[in-house]
Structure 1
Amino acid sequence: MASAGSSANAGAAARFWEHFQEQSGQIRAAVGAHRDARAQLRALDDAVREALIYLPPYDQKQLAAAMDQLRLLLRQSSASSVRNAGFKFRSATTAKPAAAAAAATKDDEGVPEPPASGSSPAGRSLCFSGLSGRWIAADAADEAQPTDCELRDIRSCVVDLRAAAGSLRALNCHGVEDSVVVCGALAGSATIRRSAGCVVALGAHQLRFEDSHNVDVLVHCTSHPVIERSTAMRFAPYPPALSGAQPDAGAQPSMHAQVHDFNWLRRQQSPNWSQAAAAPAHLQPLWALLDDPRQPLDEALALLPGSASVASTDGAS
């Protein structure tokens, strides 16, 4: 029997497919009528990106392929328009090929580009994979170029993405264990699968955990966080003492204390998550460690939920 969460996701995915088919049809019609469809394509690209949080992997691949076809169609139309314009408006002086190429480049501006890697259909991707015992710090990124970040198979690491927070629109994590992940305010969503024994601090419009256990989640989330097949999840507000890109608490209130557990259908509080008014006291030293130029990995990892020092502190309280 499918869970309520799975049914809700399936319904949302079906509705989005209908929306996508309608919009892609309009874009194709606009291209066929030689109308500028770049704005429509950008809007559809944004809609696809926002839907990734609930779309299954197969649908994501299908949508990525469909978006690639639309981009190609738009580029071919732009190139054709440039060639036709060259013949139609040619003066006595023959246009140089370089001029036509420059015009084609200008016509291509504004067409969303697919990622170099990762699951998001547009923008560039930042990926860290197969790392253990490392202090990972993202470089500063151009805020005008949206970036998706993927963390895959990360063990006993500190991942500090705050320098790139201004450009980050989505975070996707798969198999992150015994690690600290900090990324400040995202422009979009965060999806975290198969995480355990971690501290995660971020701001996002949407947040989803799947198959995760024993995680301290310090978050400013403007929608209901979602957990599925997850246990011992502890939610608290994003720590104001943490430097870097801070979520704008004044713009939209956080709903970190209103978690939806898709595997708990009773009216009573789910036993799989809890909430606190502030980050756990034992994590307070972590904020200073994250700004320490020495990058003290062992000291930071000693504050994780499953560490011996934290266990002894909990036992003494």
Structure 2
Amino acid sequence: MLNQRDQQVSIDIKQVSNPLHISLSRTDRPPLWRLQHQLIKLLPTTMNDQQAPSATTDGMSTDPTIQRKHAAMIERLSNLHQSRVSNKTDPKDPSFESTKSFLLLFTNSKQAIESSLTQVQQISDTDPTQDLKPELEKMSLSITELEKLVAENSYFLPPYEVRSSLKTISDLKQTLDSVTSKVKPRKKFSFKNRPAKKPEPANTITIEAIENEREQQSSYKVKDSPGFRSKENEILTKEFKGSEIGEFVLSDLTNCEVRLRGCFRTLFINRLKNCKIYTGPVLGSILIEEVEGCLFVVASHQIRIHDAKESDFYLRCRSRPIIERSSGVRFAPYRLCYDGIESDLRESNLDDDTGSWANVDDFQWLRAVQSPNWSILPESQRIDTVNI
């Protein structure tokens, strides 16, 4: 209750989820100033769905004009609160973005991998003849999953956490390589004579050996994921409906045009040359590695580009694109059209162009001056909107 001499006025204070900032005019009369000051102090930062306690103050004017202004102010507070409640993100939602949750999961996974590496080393020291290849393969897959975790969540992580996570993954890979070289199965010593095998011709290279080498060179394993692989001079199309595809892969393509319509979770692109890639919105992230002379028109929450040369990127993204070990790459805004794209962009929360495509982070260039590895594509050289 607010008291002014012998008069009392009842005021309902609506619940609000955040502190309010009320702009006060210096021309208001002192009694109203005191009233507003006490109102601000009484407004809690968090409240349950109950009415706030009443407050009292002296000197409130009974002027009808002032009362109408005050009633309007209370109504605005109520509307603001309802708007914030309706737009509040549910932490129980699977898509809830939390740096703290990511770091906890990342740390637990990292510690589990390190523990497995230590156990493998101990087993090798105890029994040098034991075959530990299955365990090493499991750890390799675990590191790959950890890298995918970073790729899918890096769009909402601070740049420092992304760099730190990638550095940790790189260290784990080096440790795994070191352990692998030390614990390879060793044959038991034997005096048994065995017929010598004829050496294979030096120029004989099997297809299986080539595929194994390629998979080892790639920073992620995409063997079981759907996608387009090992194609030349083709137009490749795919339409996604609902959430039927979690991740999609484009690998070892030359002189191809790829058209992907609809939404999907994650896109991995690896070893492309002279290709044109057009995709609808990607709900998570896009990882691009080892591309040359390509054109990309893609939309995603976060985009990472490694080892790219002389390629153009037309992007729409929520966070700043990241490049590493790249040169001659140019950037421009997203220019793609197909039936239903506006709905897909809204569903993916990519309907607004934030301009992030023009703010590229080059992780290999830490100086204050502009990186020479990327630039903005001049408008006169940009393509028109592509309809797929």
Query: TM-score w.r.t. structure 2 length?
Result: 0.43
Matched, 1:126 2:126: no
Distance 1:224 1:194 in 2: 20
Distance 1:244 1:197 in 2: 30
Structure 1 equivalent of residue 324 of structure 2? 228
Structure 2 equivalent of residue 257 of structure 1? 358
Matches within 5 A, 1:10-159: 16-20=105-109, 49-52=148-151, 56=169, 119=221, 125-138=225-238, 140-159=239-258
Distance 2:340 2:310 in 1: 25
Give the direction of change, closer, same or farther, for the CA distance of 1:50–1:148 in structure 2 (3 Å limit).
same
Distance 2:359 2:283 in 1: 20
Structure 2 equivalent of residue 38 of structure 1? none
The structural deviation recorded for 1:185 is: 0.5
Letter in 2 for 1:201: V
Larger Rg: 2
Alignment counterpart, residue 170 of structure 1, candidates 266, 285, 302: 266
Give the direction of change, closer, same or farther, for the CA distance of 1:242–1:169 in structure 2 (3 Å limit).
same
RMSD between superposed Cα atoms in Å: 3.7
Percent sequence identity over matched residues? 25
Structure 2 equivalent of residue 272 of structure 1? 373
Distance 2:303 2:255 in 1: 22
Give the direction of change, closer, same or farther, for the CA distance of 1:16–1:277 in structure 2 (3 Å limit).
farther
Alignment counterpart, residue 199 of structure 1, candidates 295, 315, 330: 295
Distance 2:325 2:104 in 1: 24
Distance 1:144 1:195 in 2: 28
Give the direction of change, closer, same or farther, for the CA distance of 1:287–1:243 in structure 2 (3 Å limit).
farther
The structural deviation recorded for 1:287 is: 1.8
Does the CA contact (< 8 Å) of 1:197 and 1:214 recur in 2?
yes
Give the direction of change, closer, same or farther, for the CA distance of 1:120–1:136 in structure 2 (3 Å limit).
closer
Distance 1:21 1:57 in 2: 12
Does the CA contact (< 8 Å) of 1:236 and 1:279 recur in 2?
no
Matches within 5 A, 1:172-187: 172-187=268-283
Give the direction of change, closer, same or farther, for the CA distance of 1:184–1:266 in structure 2 (3 Å limit).
same
Give the direction of change, closer, same or farther, for the CA distance of 1:57–1:143 in structure 2 (3 Å limit).
farther
Q: Secondary structure at the match of 2:386?
A: helix
Distance 1:48 1:198 in 2: 24
Give the direction of change, closer, same or farther, for the CA distance of 1:212–1:142 in structure 2 (3 Å limit).
same
Specify every segment of 5 or more residues in structure 1 that has no aligned partner in the other structure, as ranges.
1-12, 24-45, 61-117, 292-317
The structural deviation recorded for 1:263 is: 1.1
Does the CA contact (< 8 Å) of 2:316 and 2:353 recur in 1?
no
Distance 1:47 1:128 in 2: 24
Specify every segment of 5 or more residues in structure 2 that has no aligned partner in the other structure, as ranges.
1-101, 113-144, 153-164, 174-219
Give the direction of change, closer, same or farther, for the CA distance of 1:278–1:170 in structure 2 (3 Å limit).
farther
Alignment counterpart, residue 212 of structure 1, candidates 284, 293, 308: 308
Moved more, 242-251 or 191-200: 242-251
Equivalences, count:
192
Distance 1:47 1:250 in 2: 29
Does the CA contact (< 8 Å) of 1:49 and 1:120 recur in 2?
no
Give the direction of change, closer, same or farther, for the CA distance of 1:59–1:169 in structure 2 (3 Å limit).
farther
Give the direction of change, closer, same or farther, for the CA distance of 1:18–1:173 in structure 2 (3 Å limit).
same
Does the CA contact (< 8 Å) of 2:278 and 2:336 recur in 1?
no
Structure 2 equivalent of residue 161 of structure 1? 260
- Structure with higher RCO (Cα < 8 A, 6+ apart): 1
Does the CA contact (< 8 Å) of 1:52 and 1:120 recur in 2?
no
Structure 2 equivalent of residue 189 of structure 1? 285
Distance 1:250 1:171 in 2: 19
Does the CA contact (< 8 Å) of 1:237 and 1:256 recur in 2?
yes
Does the CA contact (< 8 Å) of 2:297 and 2:336 recur in 1?
no
Distance 2:303 2:363 in 1: 13
Letter in 2 for 1:259: V
Distance 1:212 1:48 in 2: 19
The structural deviation recorded for 1:280 is: 3.2
Distance 1:47 1:211 in 2: 21
Per-residue CA deviations over 1:264-297 (Å, capped at 9, x if unaligned) read: 111011111112475834x22x725xx4xxxxxx
